[in-house]
Amino acid sequence: MSVDDEGYLTYVGRTDDVFKASDYKISPFELESVLIEHPAVVEAAIVPAPDPIRAAVPKAYVALVAGYEPTAETALSILQHAKERLAPYLRVRRIEFATLPKTLSGKVRRVELRAREHDTSIEIVDFRYEQFPELRGS
């Protein structure tokens, strides 16, 4: 948590979850909070995904509410929702629909998700921001 000059409190999240993307520090908590506001999202976890241009980009692992399908249309809707509520440097650039790995106490095991992003033996099937021309612009 931090306090600015005007006394506003900002919850940043765990420092070990913060990562850099395009030289900006990204706290997963803020992005996850926006994603779970979408009616299709029951749970989300943000991790850095390798990117040849930005070094890393925010990737969302998303568990869907019953009745929603893991389709391109669902991904577009979630990405559009996030785009409207986040600064450009914070935008989620990839989405993978999945059941999130948990600890015995029910916390998301981000360490597994981060490792998955670097495991070349796993075929990653995600939806990418650049796949959707309707997201381009402002």
What does the chain come to in residues?
138
58: in domain: yes
The answer to whether residue 2 scores a pLDDT higher than 80 is no
For residue 16, count other CB atoms closer than 10 A to its CB.
8
Average pLDDT over residues 71-81: 97
| pTM given for the model | 0.85
Contact between residue 81 and residue 41 where contact means Cβ atoms under 8 Å apart: no
What's the domain range around 87?
A: 14-135
88: in domain: yes
Which segment, 73-82, 103-112, 115-124, is predicted with the most confidence on average?
A: 73-82
- With cut-offs at 50, 70 and 90, classify the pLDDT of residue 1: low
C-alpha 13: how far from chain center: 14
Is the pLDDT higher at 33 or at 136?
Answer: 33
Q: What is the DSSP string of 51-74?
A: ETTTEEEEEEEEEEPTT---SHHH
Average pLDDT over residues 58-74: 96
Model pLDDT, residue 77: 97
5: in domain: no
